[in-house]
Structure formats: C-alpha cells, structure tokens
Structure 1
C-alpha cells in the first residue's frame, strides 16, 4: 500500500467531535474482525472518566491512530487472570480507578496506510510520559498474538511466545511490544471474545516506570535528558542522490535505534555529488550541487518522521532568487521543516563560489526545548550565539567543514567558548576523508564532540563526549537540561546573569 505524503503529524487529546472519523479509522484498522469498534457512548464514557488517557495521532489533520486507556491497580492485575470484558467492566469502563497506580491500555491502533512509519511508538511514548507525569508504576495490557492460529496445533501459547522472543516466529503485534520495552507477565486464556486469529489467547505485557516513587510528602524533581547523535561523515564517491541517502539512512537508523532525539550531519556532507561536474568551473559545479537540495531535504523529512528523530541536515548550497546561499534544514519528527542560513560565509566561499551571506538569526522550538544552529564559521562570532542564548537556547548545534587541523581548532575552541559564556551545550559535527575528484573540497579534518560549560556538574574540561579524529563514526551523548538551570542559578560563576548591560549590550538589527 502506498503511504500518503506527510506534511504534519500531531498528537492530540481525543475529543467526542472526533468520533465519526475515529469510527471509520477503527473499522479500517480491524477489517478482519467484523463490527468490532467502540460506540459513541463508550468513547464519551472514557472521556468523562479519564480524558488524559485518550489520544489520537493526526497526519495532515486526519486521524491515523489512537490509544485509549484507563487506570487500575497493580494488586488487581496480579491477583488473578482476567478477560478484556472484565477489565473494562463489560465495556462500561466502570472499572476505571482514579486512584489507580497502573495505566491499563485498552486500545491502540494505526490505520493500515500509515503502518511502517513507527507511529505506534509515539502513542506508547505518550503513555510512558503520562506514567511519569502521574507517577504510576507502569503500563499493562493484554497483547493479541494474531499469528498464533497458524501454530496452535503444534505449539502451546507459552511455546509460541518463546519462539517469538527468539525470532523463530514473527508476530507483528508481539514483536512490536517486545521491541518497545514491554515484557510478558502471564498468558491470559479467553481474553478477547471473537479474536480467532489469537485463539482468544493474549499475553499480559508490562512496562515498568523506573521513575516511579511511592507517594510521599517530599517533592521529587524530574530531570529532562536529551540524547544527541552526531554523524562524523566520511567523504567518499557516490554515483547519485539515492546512494548518498542510503548512507544517510544507515546513520539515521543507527541513531534512532539508540533512541536519539537529534541527529546532526556536517556542513556540505553532500559535496561528493559534485565529482560528476568536475569538468565545470567551481561556481558552476556548486550550483549544480544546489539542484539536489530540494530532493535531499524532502528525503530527510521522511526519515525524521519514519525514524522518530529530529534531523539537522548539516548544510547544502541552495539557489534562492538567483543567488547562492549556504543553508540547512531542521527536519522535525512531527513533519515540520525550518530553514537556517550561514550568516558569515568564509572568504573562500565568497571568492571561489560567489556564496551570499544569510540574514536570519533565530531559535528553534523543538520537543526537546529550544535549540540554535550555526554553520561552521558562524560559531566564531560570539554575538550570534549570545542572541540565541537570550532567546532561551539550551543546545547549540554546529555543523562544520574544515580542511586542515588549524581550521578545525578555530571551530572547536570557539564552540567551547560558546558553551561556557552562554551556559549551554554545544554539539559540533564534521566530515573526514578525501575527495580528490572535487575541486576546492579535496581534504577534510574533523573531530566531532559535545561540549559543556565548565562547572562542578559538568566534565572539568568541558568535553562531554568526543569522536576519534578523522574516523567515520557516530557519537551519542545524553545532556541534562536541568543542569543548565541549576548552573544559571547556583553556578560558581554566572556568565549570563553577570553581564554588565549597563555598559554594553548585543542587539539584533
């Protein structure tokens, strides 16, 4: 089935006004199970009892998936086996306990045309975040095993489960749950009436909230941790955009597999595509490279959605109103795109390529807080990052391209200064290797890293993590945004607070 073009993805609370569209989505999702869908009075009851537990995923404004849930207690779950009819109190949801300590999932589905985009994970991620917010023990639900009917004559449900766990049998539902950190508790017999595919068996699955705290009068502070993924990119020949983006997807897949929130690519990572234009002058070759930018950005956006990761595309040449710019795109995992420009082009970029300077300086709102992006040379101008810090930036991303160790050292040490003076994290990523067939892009030197302020809560040298120099690899690092808040209030020095604004200021024109 061909997947629709995605412009926007939003997670919203379910409203009763959504019911008719929700009904159609349920019928589409459970085509093999007859008229098994929730009636309007069921949905209204859920909304009345537990509105925070009912959410929908909308793609381009239309419902693509849904998650419904109630609260119950761990004691009820562990005391005896139950059926779906029992846990829902004969579909009335009178079993919902507002003082419950466990989130019980009673429904999750993704419409067929949107499957394969990892949208289901977003619904489960919301449930996990809700557990943390409400300080619940975890999530429990009865998971269907829709392929069991194929093996029921030879395997017990327990044997079937074990073979799914060892990858000897593929079960689309159970495989998904296990990959999302759920583990089996027990087998439930006669769980869902009419579920012939599962022979009416289900696996009771559980996810434990490691942040759960037994209720106490003492306040518990919650930390906000963001996982950053950097790509130290190897320059190598690529015959076309497809081959280039296959390598890009390899890195995105790897970073997503480690649940990274961001993937940062280097400046001009797509330069190898210029090799076929080496017979042209350098200004003509870079403009030919710019013709690929729209296609590459579109693919980046698809990857951000599919792998549920925010991608910073490094930078690429782009023609706008007949002029050449060095730009990049923040491809968010909700499907939106935001553009950034290189404000200061290097003398070589201007002289050899005729590159124009950018003008827009802005902070980007993401689902992991406010971030800034400065391309290479821009990191060497402290005014830019100071303006971003004043707008609330917590993480600064710097995609760069440097040919010599001298050039790299300028970017690296200036980025370190930006982290200290602006009380933020700075992530830099560059390219390595050689491109003998591309004029003006023949050698590169890089060591990608995540830099921090220098205070007691951070590494003493201000380096959170770093790659091996001049080696293709990825770097993954967790940064705690709450440490920046503590630094701002209680740091040994307070670079942002102690500025003498009565003497000087930085102003955006």
Structure 2
C-alpha cells in the first residue's frame, strides 16, 4: 500500500512523534530537541506558522516559524536574539518577515521530498499573509570537513557552484533561497558548522506594501487593439467620429488600454495633395494638437487609457513622429519615434527623438515604441531595465514583408524582455494619398514563451487586413513568476560582467 502524506498545522498532541523525529534528525547535536512547553508556546503564539508533515498518520518532520519586525534586528543577529532567547516574545503579528525557526525531517523518511513540501507550505503561508519574504539562519553541517581549507564564504560559494555538497545549504539553494551574508556565532552549539550560519532569504514576489490601502493597480489588464481601416473622411471631425466609435466599443468591454496604429490619421493628408510629400505631412501635423485634446477627453469620458497611435508633429521647425499616452485621469505623456525609417527621412525629412522611458499607469509600467523602433532590441531592453511590463507598438506597414519584420521583432522583444507586447496596425488603402497607398497588418498581443503562456506566444491576434478590434487579458502576476521561476530567465541571466546596454545622455 502506498504511503499517505499529509501537510497540516502542528498540534500539541503531536509532540511525542515530533521529539522522536527531531532526536533522530540531530544525532550530531545530542540533546538538541524542543521541549514540550516550547512547542506549546509556539502553537499558542502563532498556530498557522507551525507546520507538520505526517506519513501514514505519524509526524516525521516540521517547519516552525514566527513573524518578526525585521528592521528591529537587521542582518546582524544571532538565533538567541531573533527568538527572544527562546521565549519567542519577538513574534509580532504585524511584522513583515516570516522567520524560519526550525525545519527538519526524520532521516528514515528522507528522499520523499518532505522538506520541499514543508518549504512550499511555508511559502504559501508567507504569500497569504502578504509578508515581504522568509528569512532563516541556515546551518552548514558539512563545513567541519573543510574548515581548515576554506573560509565560510568560500565554502558557501563552492556549495552554490555545486563543487561541494551540503545537506542543508544545497537544499536551500534549490528552493530559491539566496544567501544575504555569513553569520558568526549564530548558533554556538552547532559544532559541525563551527557556529557559522548562512543568512538566507526567499523573496515573496507577490508582496504588496500597504495592502490595507485601497489601490487601483491591477494584476489582470485588458488590452483593446484597434486594427484601423484607412478610408477617406469628411475632415478631422469624421476621423474623430470613427475613432470615438472604436474607443466606445473597446470601453464597453471594460478595457484598460485602447491602442491605435501609427499614422492612423493619414487619410487627412488628402486635403494637402496639392503639396509635395514633405509639405503634405507637415500639413497633417497641424491637426495633431487638436486630435490630442480630443483623445484626452475621450480617455476620461470612456474611462480607458489611450495609446493614440502616432501622428506627425512639428517642434522648433523639425518634423517628428509622436505618440501619446492619454490616461483616464486626464493626464498625458508623449513618446517621439527614435528611428524614422529611411523613407520617412528621404520623403519627409523626419527626425528621431532622444528620450527612452517607461510610463507609469494605473495598470503597471508600460513602454511605447513606434514601428521601426521595435526592430532595435536595445531600446526595449532599456525599458525592461526600468520595469516595463507591457510594450505598446503602433505600426504602419505596406507589405507583408514589412509587417513580418515588425511582428517577428515584437515577438522577440516579448521573449527576451519577459514582457507583453501589443502591436496595432492599419489596413486597407488610400489611393489618393501620396506615400500612403497600401497597408498590411495583423494586430496582436504577444507573450513570453514559457509554461504559463500560450504555446504559440500569441495571446490574441486579428484577422489579417480586416478592420476590427482585438480584446485580450494579460496577467502581470505571471510576469513576476516568470522573472523569478521561469525555465529561462533572460533578464536575470544577462552577462553584465561581460557586456552592458546603457542609455547615453540625450542629445540636445
């Protein structure tokens, strides 16, 4: 018959089994077991923090914990200090750290991954209580074999690099704990460790400071993409009427973002057809300020953050390609395209912007890159270093080749920067507008590539070359999990000792 394993809270009635298991677990430290009165006090102080593992009904291991206000102790403390000299009066239900007092498993039951189950239960408890993390002083019981050759730090580094095996420290590393420092005289009675211990911490990636305060920041964000059909309009009023229609539709789905494509307002260039290409685009730029004002109004009235797509603008007589983030609280910020395409430079004389930054929103940190910009991986890596969670890419491409450059690069950016990427483009044609004849697009919301995400890396996409909207939900918590526990961790594993990507001082 198969063994039955149960993870549950420790009770006072478990003490007999607990003592037997602890005596067996610490044969190298004779007499080191918890007295019954101490266990009872821990249970009375913090019943949820005392976790037992039972095999076939018998308790064979446990994880004992208290909550502490860690700032009162800091990283230089001893076991006696953190435990209140074994009184556990240091337990503070309003503290911020789950402190590990003890973990052990009876040696006869090792190899059943019982300790891992105890650690997993402790992590769940930490998350449920919204604590910053778990801290513990970890023994290094095999250090006695190397004490005449290695310092404690050298020993820890060799265990970390798997050159040496330590039954406690090796296990801690495999459970995502990091060593903050080496503690001296942490537990003087621990002769095998020579009194040394590693100060270990596991970080709760779900921790939210001031969780008792009502916050608007969301973990699940709904994105609405507008795949915009190019057509002629009866002036700027007609174009804004169509834009408001899509904003209304996206808002009806309770979306957090509404994203328009690059140069979605290009149909208005028809009124400047008598001018050359450079003159026509500068004529179009005259509408940008008014369209921005209307989009800011729409963002508030429809309660949705709007990525305006991009529009031409003239600043100090220089032509730029600009996108706006219009927040639903009435504020707005701008991003100027960094890399004009060769045709934008040759036909229009367009210049590139000089600022790369993330934008704070009520749904996390976002970045904006316009079309060609996404084909330069350095830009999005700089944004990722600033904490970007969603990258928005308004684009305009005339051929499927051009579209694929944007699409494939956007998918690469999602993978290498462990973020979501939303691309929105124009479709159709404008036969009477110079340099804007044809458009090809398939708008999409793209994801990293790991178990938590779609196997294709595509959360949702549009029908190619069809006017429509795309609605997709993205989970920002999954990004936190990916950063910490992903199969591969592109951001964390970047060889900063070998190379770096940094932003130079902006050009004047």
TM over 0.5: yes
Q: Does residue 1:413 correspond to 2:408, yes or no?
A: yes
Q: Does 1:237 align with 2:232?
A: yes
Query: Which secondary structure state, in structure 2, belongs to the residue aligned with residue 496 of structure 1?
Result: coil
**What pairs up with 1:360-509 in 2 under 5 angstroms?**
360-509=355-504
Say if 2:261 and 2:396, in contact at 8 Å, map to a contact too: yes
Specify the SS of the correspondent of 1:415.
helix
Distance 1:314 1:298 in 2: 14
What's the C-alpha RMSD, in Å, of the aligned pairs? 1.6
Q: Cα distance, 1:448 vs. partner?
A: 0.1
Distance of 2:396 and 2:219 partners within structure 1: 31
Q: TM-score, normalised by structure 1?
A: 0.56
How far did residue 230 of structure 1 move? 0.1
8 Å contact kept, 1:223–1:482: no
> Which whole-Å CA distance do the structure 2 matches of 1:431 and 1:438 have between them?
15
Q: CA 1:223 to 1:247, structure 2 compared with 1: closer, same or farther past 3 Å?
A: closer
* Structure 1: stretches of 5+ with no match in the other structure: 1-132, 135-221
Checking the alignment, whether the CA contact within 8 Å between 1:426 and 1:451 is kept in structure 2 is yes
Contact 2:310/2:323, CA 8 A, preserved across alignment: yes
The equivalent position to 1:291 in structure 2, one of 274, 286, 292, is 286
Q: Does residue 332 of structure 1 match 2:327?
A: yes
Q: 1:253-272 residue pairs with structure 2 within 5 A?
A: 253-272=248-267
Q: 2:324, 2:424 → 1: CA distance?
A: 15
TM-score (norm 2): 0.56
Aligned-pair CA distance for 1:228 = 0.3
Deviation, structure 1 residue 223: 7.7
In the alignment, structure 2 segments of 5+ residues that lack a partner are: 1-127, 130-216
1:396 aligned counterpart, secondary structure: strand
Describe how 1:25-104 pairs up with structure 2 within 5 A: none
- Whole-angstrom distance in 2 between the partners of 1:280 and 1:311: 31
Distance 1:374 1:496 in 2: 19
Aligned length: 291
Distance 1:354 1:239 in 2: 28
For the residues of structure 1 that align with 2:218 and 2:313, how far apart are their CA atoms? 39
In 2, Cα distance between equivalents of 1:271 and 1:384: 26
Larger Rg: 2
